[in-house]
Structure 1
Amino acid sequence: MTRRRGEGRTERGSAAAAVTAAELSACFEEVLGASRFADYCPNGLQVEGERPIRRLVSGVTASLALIRAAVDDGADALLVHHGWFWRGEDPRVTGTRRARLAEVLGHGLHLFAYHLPLDVHPQLGNNAQLAARMGWRVDGHAGEQDLIAWHDLARPASAAQVARQLGKRLGREPLAVGALDRSIRRLAWCTGAAQDMLDQAIAAGADAFVSGEIAERTTHLAREAGVVYFAAGHHATERYGVQALGEHVAARLRIAHRFVDDDNPV
């Protein structure tokens, strides 16, 4: 990860206390209620570290670059949205997986990961945090486990206007599929890789749907249904929830926290 000193990082709090991994886990569970979710990966403590936690680093994905940044920052624990041990993955510890795990174990880091529970939390979640930055109000939810949020605009906006707003707020231009002069009244979104939830957004009455990624089939569905689909970046739409969660929990437990943005063009 190439980055100038301090770039892509935000820090809150100072190390006034130390907590155990069990205490930090309990705080995350109290905030997120992760045990209630059916997910594609284990939520919570994925790798146990070696020491009390005074300093927490957060980031989107448990990449080798992020792990090394956490080590450089003197972190005792790493909090991510995209952790390890996904359902259906090859379980063998080889190659890049071995390198990542060796770095975590070699430096005694605790690794915490929260996926769907962090997507849908009403204040700290990725959907809520994206809405806050975009100025959208959450008027309702749709889809499996209420993963889709939607907002009825007070004044209809064109798809081109929505695209410009996304580009300005997220720092990257979205890929828009559909007519840019289309009038948008109901706007729906689900951060990350929710392109295959487009049909559920359409069923909820959405004129446009925002997510992070896009598939070839997404284009045809959007065109044929007469809606607009925005692929605004998986990383770009999900960098805010884990940062908000880290700040919130660190403030409650009086530990130090730093968010590191290991940027990703996808």
Structure 2
Amino acid sequence: MAKLSEIIQWCDGTLKAAEFKDYAPNGLQIEGKTEVNKILCAVTASQTAIDAAIEQKADLLLVHHGYFWKGEPYPITGMRAKRIKALIQHDISLVGYHLPLDAHPVLGNNAAIAEILALENIEALDPSERNPIGNIGYLKQPMSPEAFRALLTEKLGFDTIHLPASTTQVQKIGFCTGGAQDYIEKAAQQACDAYISGEVSERTFYQAQELNVHYFACGHHATERYGVQRLAQAISEQFNIEYSYFELNNPI
């Protein structure tokens, strides 16, 4: 058992949450029990994830995509009201970390992608960022774009979409998980051969051609499964409490 306040303080410090200008609040979003015995982690605080937390008698739901995003309407009604009401009724805390959990060099989504793909010599995609949201890494050996797509599909469990450029081999890889398709321009500025993110837009097809950077869309959910699991495991080890991961395989 651990105090909720101590868990939040540790996570905020570990992830340097205060240093990020984000689209939603990082850390404690809905306060539940003051003591935590069990954590359930999930990519998104969907109703299904909340139902799983209730069923598993979790005290804390840890997610990458929480609530209260910029631009959302203020009234808590409809689908959002149902979700929040369920958390409050069952005294379950909602804790979300967005950009800090992308950027962390050990626990983060990008760090996990680099390890899974065995990328080397990791550096910032944007050298001007204090806590880089995107990264660059290098394959040990150059690969054809087709072989690299097959590797991504195998390792990430997602039918990767490849938007081709004209180069016949890739080795210097830019990457940022989730919905960061427009960072392909940063990848081009850094002379990357290819760029990986989760989602894809209509405009990305033309950007890949005209910037001459192969683009690989590997799934928003599929690229962001890892950070919450790594963070939950780290919390578990730090505070000696139980955790589990809830997988709802979102095909987007």
Could you state the TM-score of these two structures normalised by the residue count of structure 2?
0.95
2:51 aligned partner? 68
Structure-2 separation of matches of 1:88 and 1:25 = 25
Asked if structure 2 preserves the Cα contact closer than 8 Å seen for 1:138 and 1:149, the reply is: no
1:213 aligned partner? 199
Q: How far 1:171 sits from its partner (Å)?
A: 1.2
- Pairing 1:223–2:206 present: no
**Which of 98, 104, 108 is matched with 2:87 structurally?**
104
2:240 aligned partner? 254
Q: 1:247 to 1:180 in 2, by over 3 A?
A: farther
1:27 aligned partner? 10
The one-letter code matched in structure 2 to 1:60 is V
Structure-2 separation of matches of 1:152 and 1:252 = 32
Asked if structure 2 preserves the Cα contact closer than 8 Å seen for 1:37 and 1:116, the reply is: yes
Structure-2 separation of matches of 1:259 and 1:180 = 40
**Which runs of structure 2 are paired with 1:1-266 in the superposition (5 Å)?**
18-143=1-126, 144=129, 145-179=131-165, 182-266=168-252
Q: How far 1:106 sits from its partner (Å)?
A: 1.0
Q: How far 1:137 sits from its partner (Å)?
A: 2.3
Q: Deviations over 1:218-255 (max 9, x none)?
A: 11111112211001000000001110110011111001
Q: Deviations over 1:84-132 (max 9, x none)?
A: 0001111211111011111101110011000000001001100001111
Structure-2 separation of matches of 1:248 and 1:41 = 23
Q: Provide runs of 4+ in structure 1 moved above 6 Å.
A: none
Q: How far 1:203 sits from its partner (Å)?
A: 0.5
Q: How far 1:181 sits from its partner (Å)?
A: 6.9
Q: Deviations over 1:37-84 (max 9, x none)?
A: 111100000000034101011010000000110111110001000000
The one-letter code matched in structure 2 to 1:139 is I
Q: How far 1:138 sits from its partner (Å)?
A: 4.5
SS at match of 1:139: strand
Structure 2 unpaired stretches of 5+? none
Asked if structure 1 preserves the Cα contact closer than 8 Å seen for 2:156 and 2:222, the reply is: yes
Asked if structure 1 preserves the Cα contact closer than 8 Å seen for 2:114 and 2:137, the reply is: no
Q: 1:138 to 1:55 in 2, by over 3 A?
A: farther
Structure-2 separation of matches of 1:118 and 1:138 = 20
Q: How far 1:211 sits from its partner (Å)?
A: 0.2
Could you state the TM-score of these two structures normalised by the residue count of structure 1?
0.90
SS at match of 1:79: strand
CA RMSD of aligned residues (A): 1.3
Q: How far 1:196 sits from its partner (Å)?
A: 1.2
Identity %, equivalent residues: 39
Structure-2 separation of matches of 1:252 and 1:218 = 42
Asked if structure 2 preserves the Cα contact closer than 8 Å seen for 1:158 and 1:180, the reply is: no
1:4 aligned partner? none
1:10 aligned partner? none
> Which of structures 1 and 2 has the larger relative contact order (alpha carbons within 8 angstroms, sep 6+)?
1
The one-letter code matched in structure 1 to 2:97 is Y
Structure-2 separation of matches of 1:35 and 1:193 = 22
Q: How far 1:182 sits from its partner (Å)?
A: 2.3
Structure 1 unpaired stretches of 5+? 1-17
